[in-house]
Amino acid sequence: MPEAFIIFAGQKASVICDGNCYKAWGRSNRPGEQLSEDEDDVVWYADDELPVAPIDPGTEEGFESKPQSSIEFPNKWCVRECERCKMSSPGKWREPLSLKDWSKRIHNQPWKHV
């Protein structure tokens, strides 16, 4: 699992990633399903329900696009847009981080769908 240390908002932060860039759609573009009239009530599809993600999902962060492999990790797109990446709070670079498990669907509001 790739890990890096960056300066974010002037403070040190840690960033981890699962390294599966070929499955990264981006937070703005990952396909999912609207579950109610509430626009935030969404379930995102699991990896095995989706094809390979687009090489260019059409989003940039600070003029940086999605990396083509984890060798390019981390860039601004990874930290700000990638749903497969997790950053610590600025200044809390020692806090333990865990990634979302994209082998299953993930609800944005899981308490509504227990």
> Which residues does 76 contact at the CB level (< 8 Å), separation at least 6?
61, 62, 63, 64
pLDDT at 73: 92
pLDDT, tens digit (0-9, with 9 covering 90-100), for 29-50: 999 999 999 999 999 999 999 9
Tokens matching residue 112: 């509504």
- What pTM did the predictor assign? 0.88
Task: Report pLDDT for 105.
Answer: 97
Average per-residue pLDDT for the chain: 94
* % residues pLDDT > 70 (the chain): 100
Count CB-CB contacts under 10 A for residue 47: 16
Helix or strand holding residue 78 (H, E): helix 76-81
pLDDT in tens, 60-92: 998 999 998 889 999 999 999 999 999 999 999
* Tokens 């974010």, residue located: 8
Burial class (CB in 10 A: 0-12, 13-18, 19+), 74: buried
| Average pLDDT of the segment spanning 20-34 | 95
Residues making up the chain, counted from first to last: 114
Please say if the pLDDT value at position 114 is more than 80.
Answer: no
